Chain A
Amino acid sequence: MSDLEDQIGQWRDWVLRRRAITADDAAELEDNLRGRVADLRAGGLDDDEAFLVAVRRMGNLDDVSREFAREHSERLWKQLVLVPQATTNDRRWRDLGVLVALAVCAGIAVKALLALGDGARFGLDVGFAVLPFLAAYFAWSRRPSRLVVATLVGLTAAVALAVNLYPFVDVPDAPATTLVLAAAHLPVLLWLLLGVAYAGGRWREHEQRMDFVRFTGELVVYFALIALGGGVLLALLFATFGAVDIDVSTFVQTWLMPFAVPGAFFVAAWLVEAKKSVVENMAPVLTRVFTPLTIVLLAATFVALLAGAPLATVDRDLLTLMDAMLLLVLGLLLYSISARDPLAPARLFDRLQLVLVVVALAVNVLALTAMVTRIADAGWTANKLAAFGLDVVLCVHLVGTGWLLWRFLRGRGTFDAVERWQTRYLPVYAAWAAVVVLVFPPAFSWA
């Protein structure tokens, strides 16, 4: 008997070595194995025979673990190695080589763009100088179909041509408003196009989109960390060269930054790809710290808005402020949703998230109702319309999330529904960004 126990113990260890299978899954599989062994022994087999047959009946563990990984993509994200043999160390170094080469290309493109000219146009085109190279990396590592590649290249080229051929009318000492708006919304559009490349063309699948959301979140964390470290190095550079009286500011501005910033971005992307499991433990912790704090902040804002005098200035700044607030709330939600096990039962933190959504919406509605009537009197400018449109897009996203969270907490819906809503809504952002980039300039006569 103890011999059988030994064998089962070894088998359990072997199962647990697979990252897509958790301890609970292994316990469940073991229960199955024991049931099967008991039945086979009752049928007349001895311990060894029964164990062997039962293990065979369990199926090829690679296949089973792949099936688990497919079902639990949030675990798959934690795996360095999706399934054995998928990625080797060599492959990772080759990936890094390709990525560094592409990063240098992006740096050269940025440098060339800077040589071409003025600030606003640079802001408009910098996305085209960096993101296609990252997309090229994904195209290289994921190998999407030719049709997908051709569509992406065509779309990006069309947008690039359009915004660069638009006859923006600059006011004497500032760029055209619609140009600034286009420059601000273009990265969103390009980023979501990048998502298609990231998904290797399978962008319709919920799991792929969720992975892209995770990728985005982790990228932000990594990039912030690298930027922080870079800032410290830069400060030391200035200090030491200042001590020997050599001015490095020109070098830093014209050579270091154009290469270092895109470079940091690419390295961050590689780190996310190569070390998926490192930071992902940080995202839930960060959201747990900041969700309650944000609730307090929003509640205070709500009281201030109610108690305070009528809104002093109703302009795009306030609208932009509301947008920023909703974006923050959305970021917090996405971070924790993307790292959460969808099968876990409702917890206190899920309730907190619902509170967060409700408070954010309350503040937003309060601010908006005060604004909309006055904006209607003063007339709609491109800026106000863009900010208001984004506000509406974000509000719909949050209302949907809040409603599905509520259903989940009441036991009438699943967390899976909450998750799917997030990824299903992503194209709306691409659509809105496309409207601001492509439709706003002609609609507001290029001003």
Chain B
Amino acid sequence: MHIDKDLVAASATPLVLGILADGDLHGYAILKRVAELSDGQMQWTDGMLYPLLHRLERNGWVSARWDAEAGRRRKHYALTAAGRDTLGQRQAQWDVVADALRQVWSTLQGPDAAGAWA
């Protein structure tokens, strides 16, 4: 399924922060996790992840360090305390949006279906 690019852009920050909340990862592993979480339906352009990660780093939400792994240098990202706060805020915002959307979907399905939700 094609997902609108504005929607991808809006959800990218909380998604990456949320994924990093589970543990430190390098860029490609984050991409794989995104694909996994969406059953392969969300496919980001690989290259676009890195400017986003650098923006998160500049905002102090993630920290990065270079490690040597199997002879190659690899950059790992970790969530910071400030990033955790931001993630909490984003989650609250998305909850409001998701809740409003859920109500809209239920009215779309007709009043009977809405009753079934209640």
A77 to chain B, nearest CB (A): 16
Is A35 touching B50 in the complex (CB atoms < 8 A)?
Answer: no
User: Given A28-B27, A31-B28, A64-B47 in contact, is the A71-B73 Cβ separation under 8 Å?
Assistant: no
Verify A36–B51 contact, CB threshold 8 A.
no
Q: Select the stretch in B52-60, B87-95, B102-110 that faces chain A.
A: B52-60
B4 within 8 A of partner (CB) = no
What is the number of residues of chain A that contact chain B, defined by CB distance less than 8 Å?
31
Report A-chain residues with C-beta under 8 Å of the C-beta of B59.
414, 416
Give bound CA distance, A71 to B56, whole Å.
10
Within residues 401 to 418 of chain A, which ones have a CB less than 8 A from any CB in chain B? 413-414, 416-417
Residue interface bits B10-33, CB-to-A below 8 A is 1, else 0:
000000000000000011110110
Complex: how many Å from CA A103 to CA B103? 63
Residues of A with C-beta under 8 A to B27: 28, 31-32
**A340 contacts the other chain (CB 8 A):** no
Q: In chain A between 42 and 96, which residues have their CB closer than 8 angstroms to a CB of chain B?
A: 54, 57-61, 63-64, 67-68, 70-72
Find chain A residues with CB under 8 A from B43 CB: 57
* Bound: A33/B66 CA distance, A: 17
Residue A342 CB within 8 A of the other chain: yes
B72 contacts A68, CB within 8 Å? no
Q: Does A27 contact B (CB under 8 A)?
A: yes
Pair A67/B58 contact, Cβ less than 8 Å = no
- Indicate if A348 sits at the interface (CB-CB under 8 A): no
B51, A70: Cβ atoms under 8 Å? yes
Interface residues on B, range: 20 to 34
> Do A416 and B75 touch (CB < 8 A)?
no
Q: Is A13 an interface residue (CB 8 A)?
A: no
A192 to chain B, nearest CB (A): 26
Q: Is the CB of B54 within 8 A of A36?
A: no
Are B48 and A64 within 8 A (Cβ)?
yes
Take A31-B72, A342-B58, A343-B54 as given contacts and tell me if A67 and B28 are in contact as well, using a CB distance cutoff of 8 Å: no
How many angstroms from the CA of A337 to the CA of B66 in the assembled complex? 24
Cβ of B60 and Cβ of A416 under 8 Å apart?
Answer: yes
- Nearest CB in chain A: distance from B97 CB, A: 25
Assembly CA distance A413 to B73 (angstroms): 27
Name the one of A24, A32, A64, A71 contacting B28, with C-beta atoms under 8 angstroms.
A32
The answer to whether A28 and B46 have CB atoms under 8 Å apart is no
Instruction: Judge if A176 is at the interface, Cβ distance under 8 Å.
Output: no
Partner of B60, one of A36, A64, A72, A413: A413
Closest chain B residue, CB of each to CB of A57:
B46
Instruction: Enumerate chain B residues within 8 angstroms of A54, measured Cβ to Cβ.
Output: 46
Closest to B50 in A: A28
Q: Is the CB of B58 within 8 A of A416?
A: yes
Contact between A29 and B50, CB atoms less than 8 A apart: yes
Report the separation of the CA atoms of residues A34 and B49 in the bound assembly, to the nearest whole angstrom.
16
Contact A343 B74 (CB under 8 A): no
How far is the CB of A207 from the nearest CB of chain B, in Å? 12
> In chain A, what residue has the closest Cβ to B43?
A57
Binding site for B on A (CB under 8 A): 24-25, 27-29, 31-36, 39, 54, 57-61, 63-64, 67-68, 70-72, 342-343, 413-414, 416-417
Which residues on B are within 8 Å of A, measured CB to CB? 26-29, 31-32, 43, 45-51, 54-55, 57-60, 66, 72-75
Q: List the 5 closest A-B pairs by CB distance, nearest first.
A: A59-B45, A64-B47, A414-B60, A35-B28, A67-B51
Question: Can you name 12 A-B residue pairings with CB atoms under 8 Å?
Answer: A27-B75, A35-B29, A36-B28, A57-B43, A64-B47, A64-B51, A70-B51, A71-B54, A342-B58, A343-B54, A416-B59, A416-B60
